[in-house]
A and B are shown apart, each in its own frame.
Chain A
Amino acid sequence: GQQLNQSPQSMFIQEGEDVSMNCTSSSIFNTWLWYKQEPGEGPVLLIALYKAGELTSNGRLTAQFGITRKDSFLNISASIPSDVGIYFCAGPQGGSEKLVFGKGTKLTVNP
């Protein structure tokens, strides 16, 4: 099946720094989704991308849908302690509604 390769696995940064993480696949995706999961909670949708080349922002978060449709990145600017969590990329498998997830990027922000 389709797989998503997410990197980096973890990041340790200082408050105020910018963060960048990405997701790649050997297969084409028509949708890219970015979720954040905090301890004790389910994943929360941050940004949804539906068009190749699309660049979408949500506050300090910006995500882009790669032109090749095989990658996406998520940037967080001026990180704050509440950005701590695990960030997952996801996309629908083979045109279905079923999602495949990346392995996640665990973000730690030091005050």
Chain B
Amino acid sequence: SAVISQKPSRDICQRGTSLTIQCQVDSQVTMMFWYRQQPGQSLTLIATANQGSEATYESGFVIDKFPISRPNLTFSTLTVSNMSPEDSSIYLCSVGGQGSNQPQHFGDGTRLSIL
């Protein structure tokens, strides 16, 4: 399976600031996804990062708060904007899932704490 690298692995940020998280894959992939995992909770899909077009957001998530870029088939960024303590979570990118028998694989996530 593809090797997925996320940066930063963790960060502590001030309220009101923004942070951009990077996801790099070692091979070209069609599908990339961004998830949020709040403390002690399961994973919730934020959006699908589409190469060359705007991301597709899930209910409850908006582009102004979580802008996403996908400039090519190996890279994507997620920005968490105007952060508040409620945004303290693990943010994970995943790849794969297109076509039969290609389950998603995840990066190690970015652990974000907002003070």
Contacts and interface: CB of A to CB of B under 8 A. Distances in A.
Interface of A: 1, 31, 33, 35, 40-45, 48, 50, 88, 90, 92, 97-104
A95 to B, nearest CB: 12
Given A99-B45, A103-B41, A50 B109 contact: no
B53 interface: no
B43 A98 contact: no
Contacts of A100: 45
B48 A98 contact: yes
Interface residues of B, number: 26
Interface in B22-51: 31, 33, 41-45, 48
B108 A41 contact: yes
Contact of B100 (A35, A50, A98): A50
A41 B10 CA distance: 11
Interface string B43-75: 111001000000000110000000000000000
